[in-house]
Structures are given as C-alpha cells and as structure tokens.
Amino acid sequence: MKLLHAPTSPFVRKVMVVARETGLADRIETVFNAASPLQRDPALTSLNPLGKIPVLLLDDGTALYDSAVICEYLADLAGDTAIFPTGPARWPALTLQALGDGLLDAAVGNRYESVMRPAALRWPDWSQAQMAKIAGALDTVEAMARAGRIGPTLHHIGLITLGCALGYLDFRYADLGWREGRPATAQWFAAFDARPAMEATRPRERTA
C-alpha cells in the first residue's frame, strides 16, 4: 500500500496514528505530495479528483480517500474493533471524529486564509468565524472531558482525531492558548499525546 503523504497534514497524521496502532505501518509506503489547494497535481487528482490528501493506494490499484475512510479500512484490515467500535459505542466515537475533523477543517482553512491569500484580499470576518468554530469545538470537548466522556480508559477514532486536531493547534496556532480555561482537555491531551503512535507522528516541516 502507498499513502500520499505530507508530514504537516493533520489528516495524514490521523491515518498514520491508526496505522501504528493497528500494526500496519510497516506495510504502508509513504509518498510525499504537497497537495496545494491552488495547483492541481495530476499525480494526485488522478487518484482523488478533489486533489486532497491523504489518499491510500491499494495493491490492486484502488484509491481510498479521505482520512475517515482510510482509517476505517485499516482498522478493518487489521481486525481491530476498538478504534471503530460496534454497537452503541460506535456513534459517540464517530460523532467525536466528526467534531475533530470539523475543528481541523476550520483551522486548516483559516491558515490558508492567513498564509496563502494575499493580504489585501483577506476577509477578517471569515477568519473570526473559523476561530469561533474552533473555540466552540474546544469548549464542547472540555464539557465532555469534565463529564467523564473522554478519559484515559477510552481509545477510539474520535479520540485519535481529537488528539491530531489539538496537536495541529499546537503546531500551527502556538499563540492560541487553547488550554486556558480547559484544564480537563489539557490533562487528557497530555496523556494521550504521550502514546507511542502520537509521539512518532508529531507534525514537522519537510526538510527533503
């Protein structure tokens, strides 16, 4: 299997965490692709017409995207029923995954606005709306953590997604101070981020 990959993408990180947690990382070859939102790369769009990563290319030529689909495929391939629970536990896990993915959509979109869009064309109200989505998601997570719905005894795709989202905030929004007023989330993340799969996949700028 080949994974179209960029080391700073939180969605790619999510896939790599699942690959490590399921013992499949050694079976995946990573192929760098910058996936610029401004320039369509035929090598990428031939596999995913949306031009986004991650894309997992299977040995039979099938291309899977996006991160939620790839993660579930890997868990199924490994026979792992903890990351994607069955029964009633499945829906809270998937809902938290959606919340984490939505937080990331807002954070990545706002970074594009602030870094890639020319300064004269930036729309402050739009950026403020994205930051409000991030704050709302974080406040919801804090309430869940205080209610015991997020904790050290749980491990599933929702928590992996949330961990990658908080890691992305640390990486790209270091001045945000998301931990302020959210001690339960900060405590949970400190423990979760120490998992070997999280440590091994922390985002970094590509140097080669």
Output the 3-class SS for 36-66: CCCCCCHHHHCCCCCCCCCEEECCCCCEECC
Model pLDDT, residue 206:
58
Distance (Å, whole) CA 194 – CA 157: 17
Domains of the chain: 2-78 (3.40.30.10), 87-195 (1.20.1050.10)
Q: What is the pTM of this model?
A: 0.94
What is residue 132's predicted lDDT score, i.e. its pLDDT? 98
pLDDT the model gives residue 208: 40
Residue 115: its pLDDT value, please?
85
Where the chain has pLDDT below 50, the residues are 207-208
Structure tokens at 28: 């995946």
- pLDDT given for residue 162 in this prediction: 98
141 vs 127: CA distance, rounded Å = 21
Q: Kindly give, in sequence order, each residue whose CB lies less than 8 Å from that of residue 21, ignoring residues fewer than 6 positions away.
A: 80, 83, 155, 160, 197
